[in-house]
A and B are shown apart, each in its own frame.
Chain A
Amino acid sequence: MKISVTVNGQTHESDVEPRTLLVQYVREDLGLTGTNIGCDTSSCGACSLHLDGEAVKSCTVLAVQADGSQVTTIEGLATDGKMHPMQDAFMQNHGLQCGFCTPGMVMAAISLLRENANPTEEEVRIGLEGNLCRCTGYHNIVQSILACAKGGK
């Protein structure tokens, strides 16, 4: 089926099987491998990306469902070689260990702040319920998000 999806500002006209998952489409058809596949059962959040501005788990969305939509992946956050404030906050606050969950964490965190610009620590922790860190590095992930929110970005 023919679809048209704008990914990180660039529109792609693609012909996909209806059963193609959105995560498979961005990784294999578009070569954007920053979005990871973790559990593949919509539990871990590693595959989180933005679909029309909101975080979704792209292992549980079909590419055909994204037809006509705007998609942002971790690769689309930096502008002019400068990291997104959330990426910068993760770096400054050591918000990652092995890094596998990080793209999904960053995408979920940006979506969280769009819905709640000044969350409490508890709200950040609840807001991250859909993202798992197997290194258990939650403390600094939460600190990174709070720092980004305090930065007003």
Chain B
Amino acid sequence: MIPSLFDYKRASSAAEAISLVTEYGDDAKFLAGGHSLLPLMKLRLAAPSVLVDIGRLKDLSYITDAGSYIAIGALTRHMDVETSSILKQHVPLLACAAGHVGDPQVRHRGTIGGSIAHADSASDLPATTLALGATYVVQGASGTREIAAADFYKGFLESALQPDEMLTEIRVPKMNGAGWSFQKFNRRAQDWAIVGVAAWRGNGGSGVALVNMGSTPVLATGVAAALASGASVADAAELAAAQADPQSDLNASAEYRVHLAKVLVRRALEEATK
């Protein structure tokens, strides 16, 4: 399968990349690792007329300790997130989740920024960064702004990113030793989750987000509220799907997904509760 014809532009800086997408508007797409976009283009589900390759902007590949949070450049590859000693120490949930994305070959190419900007609710990192209360930094023709993960996901493959904006950095609060768990239920190792759960608990708080339980990643606020008011893990997990609106597909019915979400949230909270 070969993508439709497109023009290829290689950006040598973030500013040049933004200027190029501003010039070409809705017809242009950023190309980072390409592991979300190219499969869609090969299936002709996406046919941008211009690809702006940002994959060589090495200055957007970094993981740094910024005090209360870890700053991750948008072009940092999944493999680098998975193996980062800084993340293993301060945000182990994210390092673990990155190691569940696709397979090693995919993780050698795919980037955290690409995965988040693609905004697929079935992907692991949108939900994981949502559970962790991350902030996304985006750069556009008119400047830079920050978007809370909770305000970012708008619909199926739709985000708060404007056509002329580029995700440049992901800021993830340090977990400060909180317990955590990443649960991914699928039929084959490399598949997307039928349902996934990213959860942490500790230091007087908790965060639970669901993978593939609707058109966007879902923050299970009902679970966190129940835990805060003293509910048991088992009782809180019963509220797992309260904010979710899952679809039925070849892998599972919506009802089965609701059941699975409750089971996986309970398992996740049991693992995360120290």
Contact = CB atoms under 8 A, between A and B. Distances in A.
A48 B105 CA distance: 8
A76 B106 CA distance: 22
A118 interface: no
Contacts of B256: none
Contacts of B43: 41
B190 A40 contact: no
B4 interface: yes
A46 to B, nearest CB: 11
A89 B102 CA distance: 27
A60 B39 contact: yes
Contact of B55 (A24, A65, A127, A130): A65
| Most chain B CB neighbours (cut-off 10 Å) among A41, A59, A62, A111 | A62
Given A129-B190, A130-B103, A60 B35 contact: yes
B3 interface: yes
Contact of B8 (A18, A24, A55, A129): A18
Contacts of B3: 19
A95 interface: no
Contacts of B105: 42, 45, 48, 55-57, 108, 111, 130
Main secondary structure of the interface of A (DSSP, over half): mixed
A102 to B, nearest CB: 16
Nearest to B43: A41
B222 to A, nearest CB: 33
A48 B38 CA distance: 16
Contacts of B108: 51, 54-56, 111
Nearest to A43: B190
Interface residues of B, number: 28
A144 to B, nearest CB: 17
Given A1-B8, A64-B8, A41 B39 contact: yes
A56 B109 contact: yes
Interface in A1-60: 1, 17-21, 24, 40-43, 45, 48, 51, 54-57, 59-60
A127 B38 contact: no
A117 to B, nearest CB: 15
B7 interface: yes
Given A60-B35, A65-B55, A41 B106 contact: no
B189 A129 contact: yes
B261 to A, nearest CB: 24
Interface string B15-56: 000000000000000010011001100110000000101010
A126 interface: yes
Nearest to B109: A56
Interface string B49-85: 0010101000000000000000000000000000000
Given A1-B8, A18-B7, A19-B3, A60 B104 contact: no
A85 B91 CA distance: 38
9 contacts: A20-B2, A42-B39, A48-B105, A51-B108, A62-B8, A64-B10, A129-B189, A130-B102, A131-B103
> Closest 9 CB pairs between A and B?
A130-B103, A18-B8, A129-B189, A54-B108, A129-B103, A19-B3, A130-B105, A57-B105, A55-B105
Interface of A: 1, 17-21, 24, 40-43, 45, 48, 51, 54-57, 59-62, 64-65, 108, 111-112, 115, 126-127, 129-131
Given A17-B5, A55-B105, A130-B104, 17 more contacts: A19-B6, A41-B42, A42-B105, A42-B106, A48-B105, A57-B105, A57-B106, A60-B106, A60-B109, A61-B34, A61-B109, A64-B8, A65-B31, A108-B105, A112-B104, A130-B106, A130-B190
